[in-house]
Amino acid sequence: MASIVVTKIATGTTDEQIVKFFSFCGKVKSSSFEQDTTHRTAYIEFERESAARTALLLNGGNLEGSLIEVSSKEVSNTSPAASPAATTDKASQAAAMEVDTINDNVAQEDKPRTAILAQYLAHGYHIGDEAIQKAIDLDTKHGISSKFITYIKQLDTGVGKKTGEQPLSSQLYEKAQGLFGKAKEIDNQKGISEKSTSWFGPYYQKALASPYAAKVQNFYTNASKQVLDVHEEALRIAAQKKETFVRDGGDTNATTIAKAPADTDEKKSA
């Protein structure tokens, strides 16, 4: 476990909004708040240290119109990542499972930091390019967890099995484009996307059935990327969220759909 301190929060920002904002970094174990006449202060404890390190990237970020400061006496965002060996056994076990029975949820803490910041951007939060570059540098330095890469490849293989083809991410752009209609039809018939209880699973599965398959797969499995790649991925996520929102009866002209709901891949508590 590790804690952060968040200062200079606008007085009108609710406890729920604060916790929701930092939940993108990982599971919040506890939180407490203080308030004076000008600002609020939040004390957030995460279940895993990696979540706190990610949260430190949000220092100087915009939360409900206020530029916040995030600090920690326990960790820094340059702290060593967990050893890849620590996740090897679990990753190997997951790789041996059939896609139909694998748990489609993957912990926020296991995601690349660039993927987490792309989620923030897709939900309408403002994250500066400096923070994005720091996330890229950390992913490059520490690598992406084998557990997360296994998860991505399992989804990739699953879509390939459902369509009767090789994993879409391994095919050329033209072939992926030609299979788009077929993949979408099979997805609708067998409810592939609906089998997942997470946001990320359905997003990624749908992305594999698009002309961007190889590009998206590369984004999540390779640490080396550019700031523009993170912005482009955020746009793809936001576009699907909007499509889902409208399909479920939302107003196509709404301007706040990116933040409603602010879902992550964590299962909702019963």
**Domains of the chain: which residue ranges?**
3-72, 210-249
Please state the φ and ψ torsions of residue 218, each to the nearest 5 degrees: -65, -35
User: 208, 169 in Cβ contact below 8 A?
Assistant: yes
Check residue 105 and give its pLDDT: 63
pLDDT tens for 86-109 read 333 333 333 333 222 333 467 889
Query: In whole angstroms, what is the distance from residue 66 CA to residue 68 CA?
Result: 6
Task: Give the model's confidence band at 13: pLDDT under 50 very low, under 70 low, under 90 confident, else very high.
Answer: very high
pLDDT tens for 142-199 read 898 888 888 888 777 766 555 555 444 444 334 433 433 444 444 444 433 333 235 6
Check residue 266 and give its pLDDT: 41
Per the listing, tokens 């476990």 go with: 1
Check residue 99 and give its pLDDT: 27
DSSP 5-57: EEEEEETT--HHHHHHHHTTTS-EEEEEEEE-SSEEEEEEEESSHHHHHHHGG
User: 150, 99 in Cβ contact below 8 A?
Assistant: no
Higher pLDDT, 13 or 270: 13
Instruction: Please give the structure tokens belonging to residue 135.
Output: 């996330």
Helices (H) and strands (E) in the chain, counts: 10, 6
Check residue 89 and give its pLDDT: 36
pLDDT at 249 over 60: no
**Computed from CA positions of residues 234, 235, 237, 242, in that sequence, does the dihedral angle turn out positive or negative?**
positive
Instruction: Please give the structure tokens belonging to residue 70.
Output: 């995030």
Rounded to whole angstroms, the maximal C-alpha distance in the chain is 62
| 3-72 CATH choice from 3.40.640.10, 3.90.105.10, 2.60.40.60, 3.30.70.330 | 3.30.70.330
pLDDT tens for 250-269 read 444 444 434 433 444 443 33
pLDDT at 132 over 70: yes
Check residue 138 and give its pLDDT: 93
Instruction: Please give the structure tokens belonging to residue 182.
Output: 């077929």
- b/e code 219-243 from CB counts within 10 Å (16+ = b): bbeebebebebbbbbbebbbebbbe
**According to the 3-state scheme, what is the secondary structure of 233-253?**
HHHHHHHHHHHHHHHCCCCCC
Check residue 11 and give its pLDDT: 94
pLDDT tens for 30-77 read 999 999 999 999 999 999 999 999 999 999 999 999 999 999 998 887
Please state the φ and ψ torsions of residue 262, each to the nearest 5 degrees: -90, 75
Amino acid identity, position 154? Q
> What's the Rg (C-alpha) of the chain?
19
